[in-house]
Amino acid sequence: MTRVPILMYHSVTDTPNDDTKPHAVRPSDLAEQLAYLKESGFTPLTLGDLVAALNKNNGRSMPDKPIVVTFDDGYADFHSHALPLLDRYNFPATVFLTSGWVSDAGKEAAGRPLDDMLSWGQAREAAQTGIEIGGHSHSHPQLDQLRIEDLRQELRRNKGLLEEKIGAPVATMAYPYGYSSARVRREVRKAGYFAACAVSNTIAADRHDMLAIPPVDGRQGHDHQHVQARRRRHRRTSHLPARAHPHQGVRGRAQDEVRAAAGARKCLGSGRGSSPICATRCSGRATR
Ligand SMILES: [Zn+2]
């Protein structure tokens, strides 16, 4: 079994607002973390690359010490702060974009972005440098609470817009807030996604399929009741402690968190049911 950590970031800035602060990371901390991962011999993959390697698509095999770095929501500071660092360290990554939040979404605008967001041009530019653009719904609702037609609309509109605007197939997604259900996963599969990131601190290697890749949250003291409740449930049903979500204000600790996550991380297998994927992403209220 291969263990693959999946790190999850949100805003990358020295000046987060109240909404983004709980999950923001300083550019200098991100730089340190990427440098650490590079020096430690990790091989960065996009989530799509990881799935391809798991399924051995086109003869792809799993590299030594694989790791996946992801960014949720599509903040404008991904383009200004994260992209230059990823480029410097030659790190591919996956950005999960909420299409209704894009800064020039125009008549497609939906939901309430938490901060300045990427434009379509910036997302395209990132994609051209090897960044994978994945789905994150159209308006960022809690998908498991939607009526079936609204759920389908969220998924298909998001995937359709991303593919139209970016000009590349979209095969992966992350659930807003990490929430999913059997129904949501079924619709995600029907919408044409091959893999999706969910939420949990821990993972039961044999229980999760490609549409429920658990995220990891290293943050302590999360204030989202539902997430906490879910985490407790996951703890009961799984054996893998997960998580590392480096964030603002933990300058000295951030690297330790990444180190712990990268070193302690999980499983990985292929296909649904038989082999598990383990991940390190996080979610929560401000995860947006
Ligand atoms: Zn989000």
Q: Is residue 1, in this structure, part of any structural domain at all?
A: no
User: At a CB cut-off of 8 Å and minimum separation 6, what does 122 contact?
Assistant: 76, 78, 79
- 202 pLDDT higher than 50: no
Residue 36: band (very low, low, confident or very high) from pLDDT cuts 50, 70, 90: very high
Average pLDDT, stretch 37-57?
89
In angstroms, the CA 88 to CA 152 distance is 39
How many angstroms is it from 89 CA to the middle of ligand 1? 25
> Which has the closest alpha carbon to 265: 242, 233, 232, 235?
242
Query: What is the CATH number for 51?
Result: 3.20.20.370
How many angstroms is it from 263 CA to the middle of ligand 1? 26
How many angstroms is it from 114 CA to the middle of ligand 1? 10
Q: Is residue 230, in this structure, part of any structural domain at all?
A: yes
Residue 55: band (very low, low, confident or very high) from pLDDT cuts 50, 70, 90: confident
Q: Is residue 58, in this structure, part of any structural domain at all?
A: yes
Q: Which of 27-36, 117-126, 163-172, 249-258 has the lowest mean pLDDT?
A: 249-258
Q: Which tens digits make up the pLDDT trace of 79-118?
A: 999 999 999 999 999 999 999 999 999 999 999 999 999 9
- 7 phi and psi angles, rounded to 5 deg: -95, 145
- Ion ligand 1 neighbours (CB, 5 A) are 72-73, 176, 287-288
Q: Is residue 197, in this structure, part of any structural domain at all?
A: yes
User: At a CB cut-off of 8 Å and minimum separation 6, what does 272 contact?
Assistant: 209, 210, 211
How many angstroms is it from 95 CA to the middle of ligand 1? 10
Q: Is residue 102, in this structure, part of any structural domain at all?
A: yes
How many angstroms is it from 176 CA to the middle of ligand 1? 5
Boundaries of domain holding 111:
6-287
Q: Is residue 47, in this structure, part of any structural domain at all?
A: yes
Q: Are strands 172-174 and 202-203 parallel, antiparallel or unpaired?
A: unpaired
How many angstroms is it from 72 CA to the middle of ligand 1? 5
Position 269 scores a pLDDT of 27
Position 3 scores a pLDDT of 65
Cβ proximity of 27 and 90 under 8 Å: no
Q: How long a stretch of residues is the chain?
A: 288
Q: Which tens digits make up the pLDDT trace of 257-273?
A: 555 554 433 322 222 22
Q: Which of 71-85, 143-157, 232-246 has the lowest mean pLDDT?
A: 232-246
Q: pLDDT higher for 1 or 14?
A: 14
Q: Which tens digits make up the pLDDT trace of 119-138?
A: 999 999 999 999 999 999 99
Q: Which of 5-19, 34-48, 52-66, 256-270 has the lowest mean pLDDT?
A: 256-270
How many structural domains compose the chain? 1
- Tell me the pTM: 0.76
How many angstroms is it from 99 CA to the middle of ligand 1? 11
Q: Is residue 137, in this structure, part of any structural domain at all?
A: yes
Cβ proximity of 227 and 283 under 8 Å: yes
Q: Which tens digits make up the pLDDT trace of 207-256?
A: 344 555 554 433 322 333 333 333 333 332 222 223 344 443 333 344 55
- 169 pLDDT higher than 50: yes
Position 235 scores a pLDDT of 30
Range among 61-70, 145-154, 257-266 rated most confident: 145-154
